Amino acid sequence: MQNKLFINGRFVDALAGGTIDVLNPHDGSRITAIAAAEAADVDAAVDAARRAFPAWSRMAAAERGRLLLKLADAIEAHTEELAQLESLDTGHPIRDSRALDVPRTAACFRYFGGMADKLQGSVIPVEAGFLNYVQRAPIGVVGQIVPWNFPLMFTSWKMGPALAAGNTVVIKPSELTPLSSLRIAELMAEVGFPAGVVNMVPGYGHTAGQRLAEHPGVGKIAFTGSTATGRRIVAASQGNLKRVQLELGGKGANIVFDDADLDAAINGAAWAIFHNQGQACIAGSRLVLHERIADAFLERFGALAASIRLGNPLDPETEMGPLTSAQHRDKVLSYAGVAREQGGRVLTGGKAPALAGLEKGYYVEPTIVEAKPHDRVAQEEVFGPFVTVLRFGSDDEALAIANATEYGLGSGLWTRDLSRAHKLAHSIDAGMCWINCYKRVNPGSPFGGVGQSGYGREMGFEAMHDYTEARSVWVNVDATVPPHFKR
């Protein structure tokens, strides 16, 4: 198991020799200790990335793409190993790591591998006699900071487009879940990525992350994490006015109308909040129910939630694993009290499960609370298996509730009325809306938020463009330009 920093093509200890214990969320045991990058290590990584940039950015785009495609193949060839590592480190149920995390990671690298030589500039129709063309040039060294909830997948979301566009990368995985990312670094070295093109510096946010965000040699910082840290990243980036891309928190409204296919909506709503133990920025954490169907819906939804199989993430029967850290588990559990303090009702869960074998793990029962739209549990991101139910009577009221938070990332609606569906999809303030489905992602479809959920987009051409600068070149082909200063 790789546990060192990856700088300039080599795995090395941190210069100051510090380490961070990596814990198994199933029982709190220590899996390993990883080298903890600090500012000096980040500086070395940025230096390596700067040295690698000229050759990497000048390499034929198809060659860069070929390396990304080889990486995608290598990831698929190591599916079981990567799935085990991800589940061990994060608590993702192994069935999800096998079926979702690893295939999606490979698919994303493959998508951007294929796109590397499809990124085109343009020719602008300007005045006669001039040729104006626009090139998409890489930015340079890109800093990337990712959280702990989907560490494997986020390596591909972040590095895929950045590398395809010709940038070199310094990426900081979360100090809590660095293991699958470090394995990806090994695979990148094996398939032939040149030294320095990718550097990986796991470490704490306030040291390694902070240095990366403020480093004058970094041209762009791409961040996924909480809104509070996002603000710190913006402040740290000011020194060299680096470009910033922010994928932050969310409080997704998932609206069920009274004409919806209830079987699909009930299962979809459970997937929206309980997949990955609710640790997803796009989770449908506000379940907004039409008052005519709310009681019947909640009876079946509650029964489904209570029947979800909690267990060791490495057991293929497990449907929900532990949360990723003890501290986070405690935060999520505290929200049952927050709901009650404001008059909310806990309908299901709200506590750790009393199940044999799970006592030492960071488990939380699937939790359903009913509250009012402006209560804290309807406004703050809990980031766990915790859904807040709100009721509405009209389409206008549903829309008002959906838009009544500072966030704007994922949203969903369930209805058989097509025009209502499209009208609302355009009116909800969110980067993504799912109609009669939830949490669909694809490497081709832009992913990101509005408001306090951040700015910039991952995936698709949007992401590639976000990792380039548009350079405009003017050529006087055969124009006669009258002199401004007649002498």
Name the DSSP letter for residue 212.
Answer: H
Shortest Å, Cβ 234 to ligand NAD: 10
State which residue, 69 or 212, has the beta carbon closest to ligand NAD. 212
Shortest Cβ distance from residue 258 to ligand NAD (Å)? Answer: 30
- For 21, phi then psi, to 5°, come to -70, 140
CB 367 within 8 A of CB 387: yes
Closest distance of CB 296 from ligand NAD, Å: 31
In angstroms, the CA 458 to CA 112 distance is 11
Q: Count CB neighbours of 351 within 10 A.
A: 12
Do residues 364 and 349 touch, judged by C-beta distance below 8 A? Answer: yes
Closest contact distance (angstroms) between CB of 173 and ligand NAD is 7
Could you tell me the smallest distance in angstroms from the CB atom of residue 207 to ligand NAD?
9
Output 86 or 395, the one with its CB closest to ligand NAD: 86
Q: Which of 281, 365, 370, 381 is catalytic?
A: 281
DSSP-based three-state secondary structure for 3: coil
> Given CA atoms 125, 126, 132, 137 in this order, what sign does their dihedral have?
negative
CA dist 13 and 20 (Å) reads 12
The nearer residue to ligand NAD, 327 or 476, going by C-beta atoms, is 327
Q: For residues 130 and 455, which CB has a smaller minimum distance to ligand NAD in the complex? A: 455
Rank residues 112 and 392 by Cβ distance to ligand NAD and give the closer one.
112
Taking the least distance from each CB to ligand NAD, the nearer of 157 and 297 is 157
Q: How many angstroms separate the CA atoms of 147 and 151, rounded?
A: 7
Q: Do 394 and 288 meet the contact criterion of CB atoms below 8 Å apart?
A: no
Please confirm, yes or no, whether 433 is among the known catalytic residues. no
DSSP structural state of residue 417: -
Q: Is the CB of 73 or the CB of 380 nearer to ligand NAD?
A: 380
CB of 76 to ligand NAD, least distance (A): 24
- Taking the complex as a whole, the smallest distance from the CB of residue 390 to ligand NAD amounts, in Å, to 20
* Residues near 346 by beta carbon (within 8 Å), at least 6 away in sequence: 336, 339, 340, 367, 368, 369
Nearer to ligand NAD (CB atom), residue 106 or residue 323: 323
Which residues, 6+ apart, have CB-to-CB distance to 189 below 8 Å? 6, 9
Give strand pairing partners of 420: none
247 is catalytic: yes
Closest distance to ligand NAD from the beta carbon of 370 (Å): 23
Residues that bind ligand NAD (CB under 6 A): 145-149, 172, 174-175, 204-206, 209-210, 213, 224-226, 229, 232-233, 247-250, 281, 381, 383, 409, 449, 453-454
Q: Which residues of 329-344 are buried (b: 16+ CB within 10 A; e: fewer)?
A: beebbebbebbeeeeb
CA separation for the pair 103, 186 (Å, rounded): 18
Q: What is the CA radius of gyration of the chain?
A: 24
Output b/e per residue, 140-166; b: 16+ Cβ within 10 A.
bbbbbbbbbbbbbbbbbbbbbbbbbbb
Handedness of CA 201, 75, 459, 439 (dihedral sign): negative
Residue positions annotated with a catalytic role: 247, 281
